[in-house]
């Protein structure tokens, strides 16, 4: 969708959207429109008892004394960034009903114009790539939006970094939506290599190189697949080259059958989404690079496919991680932590990050605990945990800190190795046990946050600014955190 910002000149055709804050009077230009249409706006507001509260709208078809097709009076709540974004979502939900592809929006304040455009980009999304029958495709999606504002240059400047984040979210969503026969380790790596024009450096580490590094935990997960396991490193240097980077690690299990600990079909048929952490890191790195964030950042993706075969890892196998710690693999379906632990060791020893975040669709237990709208976080740093929680509140990508500690550590005791990869009491504190496992791979007290997005990476019903399906959760959350805590 193309976004245009221009000076205010009321249009004579098409659809005009008028933004109105809760209990606020019509603006000067909206009053001019009201006069031109012989009071159509005022009458509609009175009849509908419209106050401008969020998620409310009035549709005025073929207004009198005007060549406009319709005027939509759209409530923007308190006018905050989030309420404005949600107002855009309310409008997008009516696009097919109103049969719209192009709109003009009267958004006089520059900040509100930029945020409304951002909301349009987030909501005007549908993955129709594989729908060949026209009746299955979206009949109407916005292709252009013209925002009328008092200072279009300023609105464009405010919108530019938001557009970068929206593009990162779109990349994340597209990757998660793609089926596993299209996105697998090699094709994911090839996609990443095409991101260099954004200002990213991309390195691909193959299986042989990872074996030489001693990454036996990660490699064990993918040994049953015909696809080669790969590690992709995305580098963005937006600050002083000597400054330690912020590191983002993504679990990239492009399909998770469970391995020999085979999942039931009802659980397996959504497992193309198990690379959601890697997809989020990819989208985030694009967003940071495109908006030219003043930070050094590293994205590290562990790309594997977890399949059953005669070469697959077996329950009770013992693998040696890059850290040198040994792991008894009691459940081959507890594979994400095996990928992440080697990424953590590699990242800390290679890049010595000032802070490290890992993202993973790791445990079904976090979905049971927190639902589909809140991600679970675990951390060894109280300040960092508070900062990411605050960023989540600002961006409405909520996170909730869950516990780690000795009671979960004891559940990782193995009779043969340094630890086992799942708890010895099944279905007990699964998310905390997984996080406790990862905590064992922290070196030199690196500040760290583990983000379990198993519940938030996908929505079955759709949420404000998150259409049904892949949500892109985490991109705007971590972009906000970087902006507030790590940019100079």
pLDDT of residue 140: 87
Binding residues for Mn(2+), by number, are 251, 256, 274, 333, 335
Residue 389 contacts by C-beta under 8 Å, 6 or more apart in sequence? Answer: 377, 399, 400, 401
Q: Could you confirm whether 131 is annotated as catalytic?
A: no
Q: Could you confirm whether 194 is annotated as catalytic?
A: no
Please determine, looking at this structure, whether the domain spanning 165-485 carries the CATH number 3.30.470.20.
Answer: no
pLDDT of residue 443: 98
Where in the chain is CATH 3.40.220.10? 2-150
From first to last of its 488 residues, the chain has per-residue pLDDT tens of 999 999 999 998 999 999 999 999 999 999 999 999 999 999 999 999 999 999 999 999 999 899 999 999 999 999 999 999 999 999 999 999 999 999 999 999 999 999 999 999 999 999 999 988 877 777 789 999 999 999 999 999 999 999 999 999 999 999 999 999 999 999 999 999 999 999 999 999 999 999 999 999 999 999 999 999 999 999 999 998 789 999 999 999 999 999 999 999 999 999 999 999 999 999 999 999 999 999 999 999 999 999 999 999 999 999 999 999 999 999 999 999 999 999 999 999 999 999 999 999 999 999 999 999 999 999 999 999 999 999 999 999 999 999 999 999 999 999 999 999 999 988 889 999 999 999 999 999 999 999 999 999 999 999 999 999 999 999 999 999 999 999 97
Q: Which of 263, 354, 468, 483 is catalytic?
A: 263
Mode of pairing for the β-strands spanning 375-379 and 458-459: unpaired
Where in the chain is CATH 3.40.630.10? 165-485
Q: Which of 272, 290, 337, 466 is catalytic?
A: 337
Binding residues, by number, are 251, 256, 274, 333, 335
pLDDT of residue 343: 99
Hey, what CATH topology would domain 2-150 get? 3.40.220
Question: What pTM value is reported for the model?
Answer: 0.97
pLDDT of residue 139: 79
pLDDT of residue 108: 94
pLDDT of residue 128: 92
């Amino acid at each position: 969708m193309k976004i245009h910002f221009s000076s205010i000149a009321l249009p004579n055709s098409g659809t005009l959207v008028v933004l109105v804050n809760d209990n606020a009077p019509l603006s000067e230009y909206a009053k001019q429109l009201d006069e031109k249409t012989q009071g159509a706006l005022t009458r509609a507001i009175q009849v509908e008892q419209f106050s401008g509260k969020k998620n409310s709208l009035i549709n005025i078809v073929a207004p009198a004394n005007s060549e406009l097709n319709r005027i939509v009076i759209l409530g923007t709540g308190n006018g905050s960034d989030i309420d404005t974004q949600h107002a855009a979502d309310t409008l997008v939900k009516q696009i097919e009903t109103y049969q719209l592809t192009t709109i003009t929006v009267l958004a006089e304040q520059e900040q509100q114009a930029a945020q409304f455009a951002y909301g349009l980009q987030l909501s005007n999304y549908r993955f129709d790539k594989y729908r060949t029958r026209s009746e299955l495709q979206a009949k109407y999606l916005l292709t252009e939006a013209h925002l009328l504002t008092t200072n279009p240059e300023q609105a464009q400047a405010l919108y530019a970094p938001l557009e970068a984040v929206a593009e990162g979210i779109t990349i994340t969503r597209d990757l998660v939506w793609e089926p596993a026969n299209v996105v697998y380790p090699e094709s994911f790596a090839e996609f990443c290599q095409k991101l260099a024009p954004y200002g990213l450096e991309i390195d691909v580490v193959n299986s042989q190189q990872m074996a030489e590094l001693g990454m036996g935990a990660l490699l064990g997960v993918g040994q049953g697949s015909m696809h080669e396991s790969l590690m992709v490193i995305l580098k963005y240097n937006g600050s002083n080259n000597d400054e330690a980077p912020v590191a983002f690690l993504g679990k990239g299990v492009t399909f998770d059958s469970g391995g020999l600990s085979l999942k039931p079909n009802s659980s397996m048929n959504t497992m193309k989404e198990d690379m959601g952490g890697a997809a989020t890191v990819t989208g985030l790195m694009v967003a940071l690079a495109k908006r030219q964030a003043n930070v050094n950042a590293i994205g590290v993706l562990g790309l594997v496919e977890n399949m059953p075969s005669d070469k697959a890892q077996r329950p009770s196998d013992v693998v040696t991680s890059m850290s040198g710690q040994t792991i008894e693999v009691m459940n081959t379906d507890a594979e994400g932590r095996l990928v992440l632990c080697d990424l953590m060791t590699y990242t800390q020893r290679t890049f010595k990050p000032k802070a490290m975040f890992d993202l993973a669709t790791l445990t079904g237990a976090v979905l049971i605990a927190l639902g589909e709208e809140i991600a679970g976080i675990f951390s060894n740093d109280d300040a960092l945990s508070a900062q990411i929680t605050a960023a989540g509140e600002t961006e409405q990508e909520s996170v909730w800190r869950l516990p780690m500690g000795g009671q979960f550590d004891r559940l990782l005791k193995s009779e043969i190795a340094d630890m086992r990869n799942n708890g010895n009491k099944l279905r007990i504190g699964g998310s905390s046990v997984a996080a406790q496992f990862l905590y064992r791979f922290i070196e030199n007290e690196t500040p760290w946050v583990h983000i379990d997005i198993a519940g938030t990476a996908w929505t079955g019903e759709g949420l404000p600014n998150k259409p049904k399906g892949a949500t892109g959760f985490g991109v705007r959350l971590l972009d906000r955190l970087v902006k507030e805590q790590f940019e100079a």
